[in-house]
Amino acid sequence: MQQSSLRTDGTLALSAEGAERTNHQRPPAASTSNLRPIPSLPPAPESLADLGLPEAFLEDLALKTLHRIAVPTSTGLANALRLPPALVRDLLDSLKRQRLIETTANSGRLETEWQYRLTELGMKEVENAFARSRYVGPVPVPIQEYFRRLEVDTEVGAPDPVRLARALQQLVLARDIVAKVCLALTSGRPAMLWGAPGNGKTTILELCSEAIHGVTLLPVCVWVSGHIIRLYDDLVHVVVDGDENANTVDRRWLRIRRPFVFVGGELRHEDLDLAYDPALGYHQAPPHVKAHGGLLAIDDFGRQQVSPHALLNRWIAALERGEDTMALVTGERITFPFRSTIVFSTNLEPRTMLEEAHLRRIPYKIRIPEPTPAQMAEIFRRFADAMGVEATAENIEIAVQMVFRASENNPRSCHPRDILQLIIEEARFVKRPPVLEPGAVRRACELYFARDPGPVGQGLSGA
């Protein structure tokens, strides 16, 4: 469940209390000692044997791909399989010798322009190939090669402290809360953000994605015991291009930014394991495998269809062991290395939903508090600037008082944004510029809280 939020200028102060300090003291630049070289992609395989896969599987995959692609040339096949052209020519020669394919009459002069079609025998063989496996896509990497790469990449993908502190400047938080969040989320150990809804827990998780740095390698998919597991997810992984010649590297591998995987209340128990799609013919990796070497954020923890106990037993215990075991559709079990940073966000009090053993395994538990009046005023100011609402300091103070009274002294950091949005919509309706003034605030509060916020000038003690 991906969520978005309005974000103000990242150079703004952390809170009203820290505004003057932040304007005079810029965050230190990242130390060059923390810089790491971008990993190189593996060299291109020089022969079909170097792929480490059965030749029959490669021929099946080539036939199915030729049957599917729009322009069945050697170049098109090489791009679809992500193989060097020389290896694709070897596959095509083998298929021609078996009289499964032939060149068409409209082929060009150059070999790279030759187009291929399946013979009658080839069409029958394609049917058999699809019966064996419906997978069509890049040639997978043997899972042992992927595991060898993971043994080299031992980082857990925790956010960089300087980057995280800078990203959190977009929120109005007290300095001690920022310090605790930075300590917890950069430790690489499990952490939990908890507190009332609407105070920025989800936004903190989203900002973590800006603070994760580093690059790692990932195969598009892996091969194990005749099955294919797809690891790459274009909704999660961000590919980092290099300056290598495409013909000199193994294109079955991708260079990606360390991943940030965000899941919410939609998480089900079956999502914790490999998911097999019979229509596509491959297994889809679960979220914690896609997050390897990065950060796994679980929002609305305790609201998922899977129980908190089952989730923690699965992931926290796996983190302690450094590995997790999953089952293929055939029942065969595979053990994956498991190195990620896990962060939970919940509206529930940790001790009410977790037992002592689970609480002990999450060493960092940070409550994100409700905003103070001064923080609420700063949030109003920032959102008014960002949303184009005219607002004076006096009217902001009145708005803060009304929100505190209407919320019965239970304000949320999201209230200023929501009230300003109502004011904007009213102004659009009556065709006038949006202004944060007492009358507009009163009407917005009555709609939003379903409660009279009280007269203008009545202080917070009047609640």
Q: Where are the domains of the chain?
A: 19-26+148-367, 54-137, 373-462
Given this model, what pLDDT does residue 160 score?
A: 85
Strand order from edge to edge, sheet including 364-367: 260-263, 295-298, 341-346, 191-194, 364-367
Residue 29 near residue 399, CB atoms below 8 Å: no
Task: Count other C-beta atoms under 10 Å from residue 69's C-beta.
Answer: 15
Residue 18 near residue 375, CB atoms below 8 Å: no
Given this model, what pLDDT does residue 4 score?
A: 37
How deeply is 135 buried, as exposed, middle or buried, from its count of CB atoms within 10 A (0-12, 13-18, 19+)?
A: buried
User: φ, ψ for residue 364 (rounded to 5)?
Assistant: -110, 115
Q: Which of 217, 207, 220, 300 is nearest to 256 (CA)?
A: 217
Given this model, what pLDDT does residue 12 score?
A: 36
Angle at 163 between CA 159 and CA 168, to 5 degrees: 95
Residues ≥6 apart with Cβ < 8 Å to 152: none
Helix axes 373-387, 393-406, angle to 10 degrees: 120
447: left (phi over 0), alpha (psi -120 to 50) or beta: alpha
CA distance 389 to 52: 62
Rg over CA atoms, the chain:
28
Distance linking the first and last C-alpha atoms of the chain: 37
CA distance 205 to 429: 35
CATH class for the region spanning 19-26+148-367: alpha beta
Locate 26 and state its tokens. 């810029």
Given this model, what pLDDT does residue 461 score?
A: 47
Query: What pTM was computed for the model?
Result: 0.81
Q: Which residues of 174-199 are buried (b: 16+ CB within 10 A; e: fewer)?
A: beebbebbbebbbebbbbbbbbeebb
Q: What is the mean pLDDT of each run of 10 residues along the chain (463 residues)?
A: 38 38 38 60 94 95 93 91 94 95 74 86 95 93 92 78 89 92 90 94 88 90 94 93 83 93 86 89 92 90 83 80 87 87 91 86 93 96 96 96 94 96 96 95 95 72 43
Give the C-alpha distances (Å, rounded to integers) separating 375 from 261, 399, 410: 30, 13, 14
DSSP 59: H
CA distance 48 to 79: 16
CATH code of 54-137, in short, is 1.10.10.10
Give the C-alpha distances (Å, rounded to integers) separating 95 from 68, 74, 180, 232: 16, 12, 62, 29
Given this model, what pLDDT does residue 338 score?
A: 82
CATH code of 373-462, in short, is 1.10.8.60
Given this model, what pLDDT does residue 457 score?
A: 61
Name residue 260's beta-bridge partners.
Answer: 295
Residues ≥6 apart with Cβ < 8 Å to 444: 419, 422, 423, 426
